[in-house]
Structure 1
Amino acid sequence: MILVLNCGSQSIKWKLFKDDLKLKEKAKKKVLKSKDYKGILLKELSKIKNVKIVGHRVVHGGDKFRKPLKINGKNLKELEKFNKLAPLHNPFNILGIKTA
């Protein structure tokens, strides 16, 4: 299963795809009404089983990240440097990466 995750400041959206890239289920959205962002995200992720790959939407990668990449500790730290360019989005995107 492939999970595509979009963590925003007001909501969490995701889609699940089968390994052959066919859509498994329609997009889901959780509007956040609590300040416990990580707790809500963990609760929603716990409902999803057999995920092999997680893709994340990150709003701003500056001039360094302009195409998809595999996240590791080094480039995650680099991405965090661009939080100031998208302060309403990137911190939540990065929280989603760290949580998933």
Structure 2
Amino acid sequence: MKFCPICSNLLLVELGEQNFRFCCQTCPYISVITKKISKTMKLKRKEVDDVLGGEDAWAAADRTTTACPFCDSMEAFFVQMQIRSADEPMTTFYRCTLCANRWSGD
């Protein structure tokens, strides 16, 4: 994103007579694009709280013989939570005892 040095509005890219150029919609500023412009920016992921209670909640969870979709384990922890309205069934969240991947099921 480039901004106009005169009025600070966002510049648009348009095809000029022979090449592409930046132009401003509110003032007469025009700048010819002479080279490739690119910038890569790595975004930092926001840290979020574990809505299922973290490691302590899984330590007290019950076990079931549900197959893990990520590995060959045939055992998983499970926790049930009401995440929809009261007239909908509870959602079951699973965590593999072997690979610790999580998934949900109704």
TM-score by length of 1: 0.22
Larger radius of gyration: 2
